[in-house]
């Protein structure tokens, strides 16, 4: 992973690698989502306009969101790797990544929905309606009940290498070593402990995103 994402890499190559990895994370989950949705695959194959709208939605909404979240996390990963010899606790990276993921995911959805209503006539061309559906959509995404769930879990491809690297080096350096955590992590073979803990942190991000979306829905209900 360090070969493809390092802090000295030119911006365009870094962005290209992020785009490739984002697509690799997105496409299998899209196929899985289509397979899980009864009749959806047949509708896309038989209905040209439906396929065009679906493809446009993925390209204009899904890919930018996944790319932006992944780019930030891969950049933080590169910074963490570059500073691995420093005494500072790399766990600080998590304090940046987790809230950044939530903010980027929510804001980009809102901006893209707003623009889509204006440019493509989505949501009946109603820009206020487009903003109103952001909260409910993101609440359901954590349960993989809509296509935003695909985008959410596609960002796991950047979360895992970052979180595993930070957790592994933090425990190794002794900068973040609660006894109960060390006991849990070191009971598992190889890198399995840090991987499990990284998945737990991703679950924390998912819960935080769901909570933020619920707050948005609550605030919107008071304004209407």
Longest alpha-carbon distance in the chain: 59
CA distance 107 to 177: 34
Q: Where are the domains of the chain?
A: 11-223
Q: Count CA atoms within 13 Å of residue 2 on its CB side.
A: 8
Rounded mean pLDDT of 107-135?
Answer: 92
Quick one: pLDDT band at residue 52, thresholds 50, 70, 90? very high
CA distance 107 to 113: 10
Rounded mean pLDDT of 178-205?
Answer: 73
| Distances in whole angstroms, Cα of residue 96 to Cα of each of 47, 62, 100 | 43, 22, 6
Rounded mean pLDDT of 155-184?
Answer: 71
Quick one: pLDDT band at residue 126, thresholds 50, 70, 90? very high
Rounded mean pLDDT of 47-59?
Answer: 91
> Average pLDDT, whole number, for the chain?
86
Q: What's the burial of 171, exposed, middle or buried (CB within 10 Å: 0-12/13-18/19+)?
A: buried
pLDDT at 68 over 70: yes
Stated pTM of the model? 0.89
**The pLDDT of residue 105:** 96
């Amino acid at each position: 992973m360090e070969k493809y994402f390092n802090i000295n890499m030119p911006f365009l190559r870094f962005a290209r690698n992020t785009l490739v990895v984002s697509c690799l994370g997105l496409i299998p989950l899209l196929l899985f989502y289509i397979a899980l949705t009864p009749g959806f695959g047949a509708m896309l194959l038989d209905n040209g306009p439906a396929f065009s709208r679906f493809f446009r939605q993925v390209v204009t909404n899904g890919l930018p969101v996944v790319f932006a979240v992944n780019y930030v996390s891969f950049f933080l990963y590169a910074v963490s790797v570059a500073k691995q010899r420093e005494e500072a606790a790399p766990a600080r990276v998590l304090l940046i990544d987790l809230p950044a993921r939530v903010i980027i995911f929510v804001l980009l959805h809102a901006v893209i929905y707003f623009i889509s209503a204006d440019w493509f006539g989505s949501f009946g061309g109603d820009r206020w309606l487009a903003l109103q559906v952001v909260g409910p959509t993101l609440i359901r995404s954590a349960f993989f009940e809509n296509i935003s769930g695909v985008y959410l879990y596609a960002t796991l491809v950047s979360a895992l290498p970052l979180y595993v690297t930070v957790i592994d080096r933090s425990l190794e350096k002794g900068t973040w070593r609660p006894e109960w955590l060390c006991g849990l992590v070191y009971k598992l073979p190889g890198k399995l402990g840090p991987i499990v803990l990284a998945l737990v942190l991703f679950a924390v991000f998912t819960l935080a995103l769901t909570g933020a979306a619920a707050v948005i829905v609550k605030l919107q209900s008071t304004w209407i």
